[in-house]
């Protein structure tokens, strides 16, 4: 009995959202796909998929099973890729998406070095602050800054992401430095696409409501108005590390930080074999950033 094959069939059905779609990917008929899913459910003694004439959906048991299955399949793919990596050469077009500011600051300047090391690879880099469906839009890899514990994608942690409250010395001289979290209610807070900040503090997670004179969907607008002295912002150190080091920005309420579980990840679809071009780029970024990225050096973040 091909147990691993049945797991792959199940994962393909979920990602394709149909048995016919999975059948096309695997070159199998929908009847064979249906039989393999039914055999898997009978072996497990539980229904994994709810079937209607129009769509398939995961049952609660199916959702939990799927999250574990994709981890197993990803491990198998990585084991196979590791064996082949000694002779495989990175080649082809590498389609990458990343957040706009991070990509501009911490990916684009290093592409020359990556391309020099991998002369058979060309990079198609798309920067966007919108959520990108990397499977539906045929990306090989996405760099994401998020808590990906519940993601169905395979994720490799590339670097920590420290977020700190900060403002310019000029703003602090005019308005004073907040001494407690409640003091933020009397300050100008700058954020994008958010009505509140979720912070981690000495007593656990807390929320701060944001009501300032500026609303924007641009992280870069927040950065520029912060540096202009408009108010206080919650910024990642990869974005404002140099300004914190040279004193153009001051860290405020250092006992509070944003989203400790959030990190910078490289993610790719679990159902796709990890090609050498993807592995090479992930290894390059991980080596470039390291456990303590250059943007965090000298900030005493701990």
Does residue 80 sit in helix, strand or coil?
Answer: helix
Q: Rounded mean pLDDT of 125-134?
A: 89
Whole-angstrom distance, CA of residue 201 vs CA of residue 159? 22
Give residue 274's pLDDT. 74
CA distances from 136 to 17, 98, 131, 216, 231 (A): 12, 16, 12, 28, 39
* pLDDT beyond 80 at 66: yes
What is the fold, at CATH topology level, of the domain defined by 92-157+264-296?
A: D-Maltodextrin-Binding Protein; domain 2 (3.40.190)
pLDDT in tens, 151-200: 567 888 999 999 999 999 999 999 999 999 999 999 999 998 888 999 99
Q: Domain 3-84 maps to which CATH number in 3.40.50.2300, 1.10.10.10, 3.30.750.24, 1.10.357.10?
A: 1.10.10.10
* pLDDT beyond 80 at 261: no
Highest mean pLDDT (candidates 41-50, 243-252, 267-276): 243-252
Closest CA to 70 of 193, 153, 140, 135: 153
Q: Domain 163-258 maps to which CATH number in 1.25.40.20, 3.40.50.300, 3.40.190.290, 3.90.25.10?
A: 3.40.190.290
Whole-angstrom distance, CA of residue 174 vs CA of residue 155? 44
Sheet holding 196-201, edge to edge: 204-209, 196-201, 257-258
Whether 3-84 shares its CATH topology with 163-258 is answered no
Give residue 22's pLDDT. 85
Give residue 149's pLDDT. 60
Q: Rounded to the nearest 5°, which phi and psi values hold at 158?
A: -100, -35
Q: Rounded mean pLDDT of 33-58?
A: 86
Closest CA to 34 of 54, 62, 12: 12
In what helix (H) or strand (E) does residue 236 lie, and over which residues does it extend?
strand 232-236
Give residue 181's pLDDT. 95
pTM for this prediction: 0.68
Cα–chain-centroid distance for residue 17?
23
Give residue 79's pLDDT. 76
Q: Where are the domains of the chain?
A: 3-84, 92-157+264-296, 163-258
């Amino acid at each position: 009995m091909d147990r691993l094959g049945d797991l792959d069939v199940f994962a393909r059905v979920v990602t394709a959202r149909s048995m016919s779609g999975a059948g096309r990917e695997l070159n199998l008929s929908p009847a064979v796909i249906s039989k393999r899913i039914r055999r898997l459910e009978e072996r497990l003694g539980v229904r994994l998929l709810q079937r209607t004439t129009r769509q398939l959906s995961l049952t609660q048991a199916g959702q939990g099973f799927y999250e574990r299955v994709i981890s197993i399949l990803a491990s198998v793919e990585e084991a196979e890729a590791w064996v082949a990596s000694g002779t495989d050469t990175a080649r082809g077009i590498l389609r990458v998406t990343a957040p706009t500011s991070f990509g501009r600051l911490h990916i684009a300047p290093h592409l020359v070095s990556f391309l020099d090391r991998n002369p058979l690879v060309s990079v198609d880099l798309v920067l966007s602050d919108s959520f990108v469906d990397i499977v539906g839009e045929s990306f090989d890899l996405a760099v994401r800054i998020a808590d990906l514990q519940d993601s169905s994608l395979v994720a490799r942690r590339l670097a920590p992401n420290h977020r700190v409250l900060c403002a310019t010395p000029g703003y602090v001289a005019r308005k004073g430095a907040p001494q407690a979290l409640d003091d933020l209610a009397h300050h100008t807070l700058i954020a994008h696409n958010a009505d509140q900040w979720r912070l981690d503090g000495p007593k656990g997670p807390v929320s701060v409501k944001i009501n300032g004179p500026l609303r924007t969907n641009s992280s870069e607008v927040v950065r520029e108005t912060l540096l202009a002295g408009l108010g206080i912002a919650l910024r990642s150190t990869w974005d404002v590390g140099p300004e914190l080091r040279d004193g153009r920005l001051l860290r405020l309420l250092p006992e509070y930080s944003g989203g400790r579980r959030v990190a910078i990840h490289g993610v790719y679809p679990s159902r796709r074999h990890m090609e050498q071009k993807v592995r090479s780029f992930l290894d390059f970024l991980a080596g470039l950033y390291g456990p303590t990225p250059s943007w965090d050096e000298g900030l005493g973040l701990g």
